[in-house]
Amino acid sequence: MKETGITRNVIQIISRHSNWKSKSIKQQLVDRKIYADKSDWAKFIDLTLIGTGAGFSLAGIIFFLAYNWHLMHRFLKLGLIQGLVIAIVIVLLSFKLKPLVKDVLLLSASVLVGAMFSVFGQIYQTGADAYDFFLGWTVFITIWALVSNFPVLWLLFISLINITFILFVSQVGPNWPSSTTYMVLFMVNALVLLGIQWLFQKKVIDHLPIWFSRSLALSVAIYITIGLMECIFEQGSDAWPIFFALAILNYGFDIYRSFKTRSLFSLCVIPFSIIIIVCALVFEKIDIDYKAKFFLLSILVIVSITFLMRWLIKLNKTWNGAN
Amino acid sequence: MEQIRAVDQLIKELTETYGTELVMDKEKMDLELKKDSEAYQGLGIKILSIAGGFLGSLFFFAFIVRLFNSASVILMVFGLVAIVLAILLDKHVKNIALDAACLGGYLAGFGMIGYGTSTFNNENLTTFILLLVALVTIVSTRAYVLNLFAIIAVNSCLYAFGNINDVPYFIHILVAINAVGFTLFSLMEAELLADGFDSNVRYAPVHAGFLVSLLGILIDLCFHISKSNGSNWISASIIILLILYFVYQLLISLQLKDKQILIYILCMIILLPMIYAPAICGAILILLIGFHTGRRFVLSIGVLAMLYFVGQFYYDLQYSLLVKSAMMFGTGVLFLSARFILIKQLKRYEQN
């Protein structure tokens, strides 16, 4: 895989249409570095032994602490974790480390803050899923998430915002219909995505991995899909025209961007989301018996997906025509 | 463009070495290579076709079940027709756009036959018929998704047999079948690819099928779903033997002859403490094979499975936290010291 051009797939296809001998195929798999060689194995063993060795030792220590947990005083429990957080931050600030090591350390400190709050909740009996626990966690890692250039930490931060909001609404929030909750979630995530893409364009952020913006875009599409379905099935939801308009605005903008950047991702996700919403609409609003409904839906899905795929394949060919 | 040049270069090299001995169908090969390079860019399209297929089949299944409420024979006939149509459509129409329809039809058919036979109230009969359908599918189609699904279905049916009839130790036979299948398919890749068209086409889905099934059974073992608590060492021993066989093959292919015995002893020292944790052994097997054969996807599944199974070990109620802590810490120190010994050895090796 390290050498360009000849992949495992290519070797499979060539051997499929020829009488290529197995010995020579094996030789190619080795020569093309698809199979690991001696130096790869040496690196792998080194990395695995260090990684698993350190991991298992650490797990052993954690298990040991867990075994003695009930004997420890509450100050010791909290102090242990807080001490770890402080130690990590001191290491971060006082040593010259590789950027990746720094990022991972900051991420572990952020996770430990969560662990600290859960211990706090355990000691003072506030419950492990109280929304204020997640709110505290979110607030106290905000600065780290903002100054770090590490998308994994951003994702943790955004997930925490989502979880905090969902728990807040279900535990103490106003008595909203669930579609309103989804609308707020969709807007928050869409705004974060827009903001980050804008910062990237203005070169404030130097790298924006594709998986990060895609997982955010996917979460937005999922919130829109579930939220609009809730609007359809829920009785007495008044907010649907606003939700609908915002969803159209968001999808329209996304589709425009996809054409501009020649990316197929949103063009796969958005139409699929629309198909699901239309199915829900047909199911709820058209007044025919269930047999006819299911038949109509199956035909609708298969036909629309088939046409959608034909269109996407054609688009893919025009965009990547050089290949 | 780069790929076409590389392929041409490879074919030239091969014809130079083997001369007229090498026969190839260049036209079909080029066509498939072209399709492969296009398909690679459309991973989203593939996922979309599978998702669409599932959704469509679900609605169609619901429609048919509503239509023939309890007329089991008609349901079975319709299911059979849907499966045959899906297989024929896939065979004769080579269009990626129709993949969703094929998969949808096949799954709906499979569901209909299952639902239809379940009205006989004989679980063994239902499982047996579904097993038969899956086996016939493997023989009669070359389509990737259908073969993959059929392999998983065969394993699920065998698993169901074991559970319905309460056969003790049956899960270990399944572990053996899938672990051996996965290992052999991975290590004999070149032989199976060269073994003829049919074997070549089915190689990838069957390999993936073994992997998915093995993973499923390992999860079962991890949660003791089949109540195999006392006999877990059987599965673990099978997998440990396979790991040793893999190491044996690896030493041959890397041409490492000296200190073989030391390596086997080291492997045994590391693996023996896991004799009651077959899931962790299985994750190690998947991880090692994934790395050796350069399949990043398999490797990452191995790593994730390993992390998950070790994490799950925390909740295992058979051992106290103190025992677990000692086992974990001991293994960790063992690994770290193994690394230091190895680095020293390597340095001495380089100096010589």
Cβ pair B100:A302 closer than 8 A: yes
Q: Which residues of B touch A264 (CB under 8 A)?
A: 41-42, 44-45
Q: How far apart are CA A216 and CA B261, in angstroms?
A: 52
Q: What is the mean pLDDT of each run of 10 residues along chain A (323 residues)?
A: 68 89 88 88 85 82 77 83 90 85 87 85 73 90 89 93 92 83 94 92 86 93 94 79 92 93 90 94 89 91 89 84 51
CA distance B133 to chain A (A): 23
**Helical pair B99-118 and B72-92, crossing angle rounded to 10 deg:** 160
Task: Measure the CA–CA gap between A253 and A231, rounded to whole angstroms.
Answer: 22
What integer pLDDT is reported at residue A172 of this predicted model? 84
Largest CA distance in chain A: 73
Nearest CA in chain A to B255: A38
Q: Which residues of chain A are within 8 Å of residue B342 when distances are taken between CB atoms?
A: 45-46, 49
H or E stretch at B216: helix B197-223
Q: Which long-range contacts (CB under 8 A, 24 or more apart) does B273-276 make?
A: B273/B327, B273/B330, B273/B331, B274/B236, B274/B240, B275/B233, B275/B236, B275/B237, B275/B240, B276/B232, B276/B233, B276/B236
The reply to whether residue B332 touches residue A297, judged by beta carbons under 8 angstroms, is: no
| B97 closest CB neighbour out of A37, A44, A306 | A306
pLDDT digits (tens, 9 = 90+) for B16-73: 888 778 888 888 888 888 777 766 556 778 788 888 888 888 898 888 888 877 678 8
| Chosen domain end from B165, B190, B209 | B165
Distance of CA B156 to the CA centre of its chain: 13
Q: B290 lies in which domain range?
A: 168-352
Considering chain B, what percentage of its residues have pLDDT values greater than 90?
34
Name the range with the highest mean pLDDT among B91-95, B167-171, B177-181: B177-181
Determine whether the interchain pair B5/A64 forms a contact, defined as Cβ–Cβ distance below 8 Å: no
Angstrom distances, CA of residue A109 to CA of A79, A89, A119, A133, B258: 14, 8, 15, 16, 45
Is B14 in Cβ contact with A272 (below 8 Å)? no
Residues B144 and B232 in one domain: no
**Nearest-CA distance from A204 to chain B in Å?**
30
* Residues B193, A22 contacting (CB under 8 angstroms): yes
State the burial class of residue B182 (Cβ atoms within 10 Å of its Cβ: 0-12, 13-18, 19+).
buried
CB contact (8 A) between residue A54 and residue B189:
no
Q: What is the pLDDT of residues B86-130, one digit of tens each?
A: 899 888 877 666 777 788 889 889 988 998 888 888 899 999 999
Band (pLDDT 50/70/90 cuts) for residue B133 is very high
In chain B, which residues have their Cβ closer than 8 Å to the Cβ of A13? 29, 32-33, 36
- Report yes or no: B300 and B283 within 8 Å, Cβ to Cβ: no
CA gap A7, B39 in Å, rounded = 14
Q: Taking CB atoms and an 8 Å cutoff, what residues of chain A touch B198?
A: none
Measured from the Cβ of residue A316, the count of other Cβ atoms closer than 10 Å reads 20
When scoring B43, B59, B96, B295 by the number of chain A Cβ atoms within 10 A, the one with the most, hence best to mutate, is B59
What is the rounded CA–CA span in Å between residue B76 and residue B110? Answer: 9
Domain boundary among B115, B132, B165: B165
Q: Are residues B175 and B161 in the same domain?
A: no
The reply to whether B105 and B241 lie within a common domain is: no
Q: Reply yes or no on whether the pLDDT at B10 is more than 60.
A: yes
Q: Is the ipTM of this complex over 0.90?
A: no
Label each residue of A183-209 as H, E or C.
HHHHHHHHHHHHHHHHHHHCCCCCCCC
Distance from CA of A210 to the nearest CA of B (A): 14
Nearest to B101 among A18, A29, A302 (CB): A302
| 3-state DSSP assignment of residue B24 | strand
Contact flag B328-A308 (C-beta cutoff 8 Å): no
Torsion sign, CA atoms A301, A307, A310, A311: negative
* Residue A229 to residue A237: CA distance in whole angstroms: 11
pLDDT on residue A322:
47
Q: Is A289 exposed, middle or buried (0-12, 13-18, 19+ CB in 10 A)?
A: exposed
Structure tokens at B89: 């459509």
Judging contacts by C-beta atoms under 8 Å, the chain A residues touching residue B347 are none
What is the number of domains present in chain B? 3
**Shortest distance, CA B231 to any CA of chain A (angstroms):** 25
In this structure, are residues B211 and B298 in contact, taking their beta carbons and an 8 Å threshold?
yes
End-to-end CA distance of chain B: 46
Contacts B41 to A, Cβ<8 Å? 264, 316, 320, 323
Chain A contact set for B314 (CB, 8 A): 63
Domain identity same for B6 and B27: yes
* Distance, CA of A115 to chain centre: 21
Q: Give residue B68's pLDDT.
A: 79
pLDDT value for A3: 46
Flag if B28 and A17 touch (Cβ within 8 Å).
yes
pLDDT range class, residue B351, cuts 50, 70, 90: low
Asked which of A215-229, B148-162, B204-218, B268-282 is least confident by mean pLDDT, the reply is B268-282
Mutation site, B25, B75, B320, B325, interface A, largest A CB count within 10 A: B325
> For the residues of B33-55, what is the DSSP string, one character each?
HHHHHHHHHTHHHHHHHHHHHHH
Give Cβ neighbours of residue A83 (< 8 Å, ≥ 6 apart).
none
Q: B318 and B303 in contact (C-beta within 8 Å)?
A: no
How close does chain B come to A169, measured CA to CA in Å?
Answer: 31
Considering only CB atoms, A56 lies closest to which of B40, B51, B332, namely: B332
- Say whether both B136 and B46 belong to one domain: yes
pLDDT per residue as tens digits for the range A8-30: 888 988 999 888 888 889 988 88
- Same domain for B152 and B236, yes or no, is no
Angle at the Cα of B1 from the Cα atoms of A318 and B6, rounded to 5 degrees: 150
State residue A4's pLDDT score: 56
- Greater confidence (A102 vs B284) lies with B284
Number of CB pairs, chain A paired with chain B, less than 8 A apart: 272
| Cβ-based contacts of A38 with chain B (< 8 Å) | 254, 256
Are B21 and B82 in the same domain? no
Residues B218 and B351 placed together within one structural domain of the fold? yes
Judged by CB atoms closer than 8 Å, whether chains meet at A13 and B36 is answered as: yes
Q: Is residue B276 within 8 Å of B248, Cβ to Cβ?
A: no
Alpha helices in B165-196 (DSSP H): 170-187, 189-193
B72, B109, B136, B149, B341 from B77: Cα distances, Å: 9, 9, 16, 21, 66
* B218 lies in the same domain as B196: yes
Task: Give B-chain residues touching A19 at CB under 8 angstroms.
Answer: 21-24, 194
Check residue A236 and give its pLDDT. Answer: 66
Residue B26: the pLDDT is 83
Contact A61 B334 (CB under 8 A): no
Helix (H, G, I), strand (E, B) or coil at A40: helix
Of A5, A9, A22, which is closest to B6 when you measure between CB atoms?
A5
Give pTM, 2 decimals: 0.78
For residues B334 and B265, membership in a common domain is answered with: yes
Do B232 and B298 lie in one domain? The reply is yes
* Same domain as B105, residue B23: no
Cβ-based contacts of A55 with chain B (< 8 Å): 332
